[in-house]
Structure 1
Amino acid sequence: MKLNFKKTGEGEPLIILHGLFGSADNWFSIARDLGKSYTLYLVDQRNHGDSPQSEDWDYEVMAEDIAELMKDEGLASAYLMGHSMGGKTAMFFALKYPEKVRKLIVADIAPRQYPVHHQTILEGLNAIKLEDLKSRKEADDLLSKYISDSGIRQFLLKSLGRDQDGNFIWKINLPVITAKIENVGEALDLDGTFDNPTLFMGGANSNYINEGDKADIDRFFPDHKIIHLKNAGHWLHAEQPEAVIQTVKAFLG
C-alpha cells in the first residue's frame, strides 16, 4: 500500500509512526526541531489520516507498508520511531527487517499483549451519525456523552474531515478499526531478535511499560535501554515535547 507521508528536514532518515486514532499531524510540532538534524518521514498508517483504507489491518500488513515506503524512497535503512500502535508496527518491522533499521525508538508500548480498552471511545465515535451531522461542535457534544476529557475529544475529532462535496467523513476506517480492534493489542509473535540499539521511552505517569515487560523486551531487543519521562503519560510527545526531542537526539546522535 502506498502510504501518505510528509517528508521534511535534512540529514539521515528518521521514519515516525503515530498511534491508534492518530495521524502524521500528531508529530508536526516535534518535527520542526528534529527536522534540523534528520530527514523526517511523518507517516499516516493505513486506515488513518490520508492513507488508503483497507479491510486488511494488522501488524504484518502495516510493517509491509513501511517496507514499501522505504523501497519507493530508495532507503536501504533508516532510524525508526513509533508511538503506541506505531511502536508495535516499528517493533514488528525491526524484527522482520533488522537490516533496514539503524536504531529503534519505541514510545510507550511494550511487546506484550494488551487487553482491549478503547470500547468507550469506539462507542462514542460510532454514535456520531455523519449523514445527520451539522457541525464539528455537534460532534463534540455527542462525543462528550462518552468522553469527558476535552483534550482526548479534540484529538479524536482531528480525524473528522469533509469530502469534496463538503460532507463529513472519518479519515480513520472506523468500521474496520471497530471490528478488528483486538489486533492492536496483539503481542509480538516473531522469531529472532533485533540486535541494534533500541530505546523504550515511556511516560512516568503511564502503565504501558512496566517492570513486568522487561523479560519480553530482553528477549526481542537485547541491546535496549528503558527510560520514563517525568510528568508524562501515554501521549508523552504531546505532554513533554521538549523532553522527547532531547531524548531522541541524545539516543540517535
Structure 2
Amino acid sequence: MLLNVIERGPEGPADGRPPVVFLHGLFGRGRNFGFFQRSLSETRRTLALDLRNHGDSPHGPMDYPTLAADVRETLAAHNALPAIIIGHSMGGKTAMMLALTAPADVHALMVADIAPGEGGLAHTQDLTGGLVKLAMPATLDLSGANTWLEPVIRDRSVRDLMIQNLQLGDHPRWRIGLNEIRDALDAIVGWPVMPAGTEYDGPTLFVAGGDSKYIQPKNYPEMRRLFPHYRLEVIEGAGHWLHAQKPREFLAITTQFVNSV
C-alpha cells in the first residue's frame, strides 16, 4: 500500500545523505512531526508518513509486518531507501519491524517511548470501543466535537488529538479507519515473536520519557537481543508523548543522533 507522504528538504540540492523518515503513533498522523521535520529539513531530506488507517492514507487490515511493508513500499516509490527511521509508539514498533525485516533499507533507527514487546497502548482498547459506539451527529463544529467526545475522552489533550481525525461540518465523518483500528488492536498492542537470530545491527537509539512506563528494565534483554548496538536516553519530566511535551529536548536528541550516523 502506498501511503500519504509529507516531504520537506533544503532549497538547494540534496547532499546524498540518507533521508530522515518520521512514523507517528496510534491516532496520529505525519504532520504531528511538523516542528521536527521543518528543523531537520533545512539540511536533510525528510519524509513524514501517514500510516495505514491514519491521516490521508488508505484503510485496510493492519499488523506490524503489514505496516512495515507499507513503509518500505512507499519509501521505495519515493527513492528514499535506505533511510534513517524515527518512530513514536505504534510508529516505533513499525520502525523496529522494518529494521528487523529489511535491515539493508534502514540506515539507522530511533524509537520513541516504546519497546519490542507486549504492552504500551493497552488503554486505547476501551477508548477505541467507546469511539466506535458514538453515534455521529448530522453536523459538527470544533466546539461540538469537543463536547461530543468528552464522555469517552476525559483528557482534553487527547480529545484535541482525536478531533484532528474528524472531518467537521455537515455530514461529519472519521478520517481514520476506526473500525480497522479496532479490529487490529490486539496486534497493535502486542508484538510478534521474532525468531532466534533475528537482529538489526545498525545504530539504534531508544528515547524514553522519564515519567512513562512504556520502556521498562524487563524490556532490556529483548532490546539487546534484537538491537545489539542500542543506546537508551531518557527525557526527564516527559511522559509517553515526549516529543509534544518536551519538543526542544526531543529535537536536540534527534538532531544529534541524525548527524552522528
TM-score (norm 1): 0.93
Structure 1 residue 40: Cα displacement: 0.9
1:72 counterpart residue number: 77
2:55 counterpart residue number: 49
Secondary structure of 2:48's aligned partner = strand
Secondary structure of 2:46's aligned partner = strand
Distance 1:172 1:178 in 2: 11
Instruction: Number of aligned residue pairs: give it.
Output: 250
Secondary structure of 1:38's aligned partner = coil
Distance 2:29 2:74 in 1: 16
Tell me if 1:89 matches 2:89. no
Distance 1:229 1:188 in 2: 28
Distance 1:131 1:25 in 2: 27
Distance 2:33 2:148 in 1: 27
Residue range with higher mean Cα deviation, 243-252 or 43-52? 243-252
Structure 1 residue 143: Cα displacement: 1.5
Tell me if 1:132 matches 2:138. yes
Residue range with higher mean Cα deviation, 43-52 or 242-251? 242-251
Distance 2:212 2:34 in 1: 23
Residue range with higher mean Cα deviation, 131-140 or 98-107? 131-140
* Cα contact 1:120–1:146 (8 A) shared by 2: no
1:104 counterpart residue number: 109
Tell me if 1:147 matches 2:147. no
2:233 counterpart residue number: 227
* Cα contact 2:6–2:31 (8 A) shared by 1: no
2:203 counterpart residue number: 197
* Cα contact 1:133–1:139 (8 A) shared by 2: no
* Cα contact 2:116–2:191 (8 A) shared by 1: yes
Tell me if 1:9 matches 2:9. yes
Unaligned runs of at least 5 residues, structure 2 = none
Distance 1:212 1:84, change over 3 A: same
Structure 1 residue 47: Cα displacement: 0.3
Matching residue's letter, 1:110: A
Question: What do the CA deviations read for 1:7-64 (whole angstroms, capped 9, x no partner)?
Answer: 002353011100000001111122221212321110000000000011x211111111
Residue range with higher mean Cα deviation, 131-140 or 101-110? 131-140
Unaligned runs of at least 5 residues, structure 1 = none
Q: What's the C-alpha RMSD, in Å, of the aligned pairs?
A: 1.6
Secondary structure of 1:232's aligned partner = coil
Residue range with higher mean Cα deviation, 65-74 or 133-142? 133-142
Distance 1:101 1:251, change over 3 A: same
Distance 2:32 2:81 in 1: 26
* Cα contact 1:6–1:24 (8 A) shared by 2: yes
1:186 to 185, 190, 194: 190
Residue range with higher mean Cα deviation, 14-23 or 70-79? 70-79
Secondary structure of 2:111's aligned partner = strand
Secondary structure of 1:130's aligned partner = coil
Distance 1:221 1:25 in 2: 28
Distance 1:65 1:119 in 2: 24
Residue range with higher mean Cα deviation, 11-20 or 212-221? 11-20
Distance 2:250 2:140 in 1: 38
Secondary structure of 2:81's aligned partner = coil
1:176 counterpart residue number: 180
Structure 1 residue 131: Cα displacement: 4.7
Residue range with higher mean Cα deviation, 22-31 or 136-145? 136-145
Structure 1 residue 89: Cα displacement: 0.4
